[in-house]
Amino acid sequence: MSSSSAHTFKEKERDLNTHIESFIAQMKRRQIKGPHDVAIATAQLLLRVVSAARWTHIDQLILQIKVVGRRLQSAQPRELTCGNIVRRVLALIREESEDTSDSESGDGANNSLLITSMFSLLQTDFDNGNSSDNSKGAKKDLKPYIIEGIQELIDELRNSSESIAGKSVEMIHENETILTATPNSNTVLKFLLRAAQKRKFTVLIAEVFPNDIEVAHRFSIKLAEAGIEATVITDAMVYSIMGRVGKVILGTCAVLANGGLLATSGTEMICQCAKAHRTPVVVCTGIYKLSPMYPFDTESLVEVGDTGKVLNFEDGSLVEKVDVVNPLFDYVPPELVDIYITNLGGFSPSFMYRLVLDNYRQEDVKL
């Protein structure tokens, strides 16, 4: 390689660094926010990282992505999708490298049968002969495959709410009353709008005051304009009306490995309420929101927001004396959710662990 190419490589690296820096800054300033936008931005950035990267062994690339991923994630630790996408890309890289080494050693019999992890007690280097030795990752240029993989991932992100919406007709019947409380979810909006093409139904929209009230009101207008019977209710009315609701349909910020989820504050009590009335809770989510994290400490997951929205500064004397709280999220435990509708299909919460195992590698859970 000539010196000029080395030069451009340096430039590229500098270029990349500015991209990363600006991404981090935007995350911190909340210019990129919301699971969907964060996911796409992360994937696009990683695409750049991979295209700019040079490696002699696949582990170097993995390490590099991990380092970048760690930086991105710490920019806004509560935007879990950022870390999810990093892990997805890592899994993708690992898979590509293993695929090639497998095909080189010419032994596909390995995956012919389901292997239970329980056998790990008995299995050893028994079938050592055909396991890949580490130098193989370097033999083939994986870059185009990885880049293709990331592009597919981006496509998946872009299309996920569409494919979720495709399942709406299976979830909503004629004349049903639906309750939703996550007006900031575009996925749910699309879901309902799509269903409205085939079904006539009523949607009750809980306001999620104070944080999402304007969004909620606009959400209701959008539904009404699409010909859906939309009724706005206050958060406090959820219990009184739940007996007449056919299904609760919610969006989410993140789905956790145990099948629980994080969503706008108020959702936990709504799900409880649905449980008390035996009303099914349907959660619409792209797989990209599924995080391999287990909610050990639910309190630390909940972010607290601007208290001025709860108690206006006009009530000045009060604000000084009273401790005002404005939680932004709720953690909803898995037993309160009936089903997840994802771009890969419908799953019960107890099955989400399997999707975690399918999409992420255990070794990447800790970035």
Footprint of another protein on 225-264 (CB under 8 A): 225, 227-241, 243-244, 257-259, 264
Q: Which stretch binds another protein (CB under 8 A): 17-25, 64-72, 152-160, 352-360?
A: 352-360
User: In DSSP terms, which residues pair with 282 in a beta bridge?
Assistant: 249, 339
Region of residue 175 (phi > 0: left; psi between -120 and 50: alpha; otherwise: beta): left
Residues 124-153 that bind another protein (CB under 8 A): 124, 126-127
Cis, bond preceding 210 (omega within 30 deg of 0) = yes
Does residue number 111 form part of the binding site for another protein (CB under 8 A)?
no
Alpha-carbon gap, residue 252 to 108, rounded angstroms: 39
Q: State which residue, 74 or 326, has the beta carbon closest to another protein.
A: 326
Q: Are strands 254-255 and 247-250 parallel, antiparallel or unpaired?
A: unpaired
Site residues (CB under 8 A) for another protein, limited to 68-87: none
Q: Which of residues 163-192 bind another protein (CB under 8 A)?
A: none
| Residue 27: count of CB within 10 angstroms of its CB | 21
The DSSP secondary-structure symbol of 327 reads B
1 binds another protein (CB under 8 A): no
When the beta carbons of 49 and 269 are compared against another protein, the nearer one is: 269
Q: Return d(Cα 42, Cα 23) in angstroms, integer.
A: 8
Residue pair 264/330 in contact (Cβ under 8 Å)? The answer is: yes
The rounded distance, in Å, linking the Cα atoms of 274 and 304 is 25
* 253, amino acid identity: C
Per the structure block, which two tokens stand in for 300? 């630390």
From candidates 330, 338, 341, 355, binder to another protein by CB under 8 A: 330
Of the pair 24, 224, the CB lying nearest another protein is at 224
Beta bridge partners of 254: 262
Q: Among residue numbers 285 through 304, which ones bind another protein (CB under 8 A)?
A: 294, 296-297, 299, 302
As beta bridge partners, residue 180 has 205
For another protein, which residue of 2, 3, 5, 117 counts as binding (CB under 8 A)?
117
Find the binder of another protein among 90, 93, 273, 281 (CB under 8 A): 273
Question: Comparing C-alpha atoms, which of 245, 243, 240, 289 is closest to residue 263?
Answer: 289
Considering only 170, 322, 345, 363, the residue that binds another protein (CB under 8 A) is 322
User: Of 13-21, 53-61, 79-87, 216-224, which part binds another protein (CB under 8 A)?
Assistant: 216-224
- Cα 271 to chain centroid, rounded: 20
Q: Which of 13, 67, 221, 306 binds another protein (CB under 8 A)?
A: 221
105 is a contact residue toward another protein (CB under 8 A): no
Token pair belonging to 232: 């706005």
From candidates 6, 25, 169, 324, binder to another protein by CB under 8 A:
324
Identify which of residues 4 and 111 has a Cβ nearer to another protein in the complex. Answer: 111
Closer residue to another protein, CB minimum distance, 14 or 218: 218
62 binds another protein (CB under 8 A): no
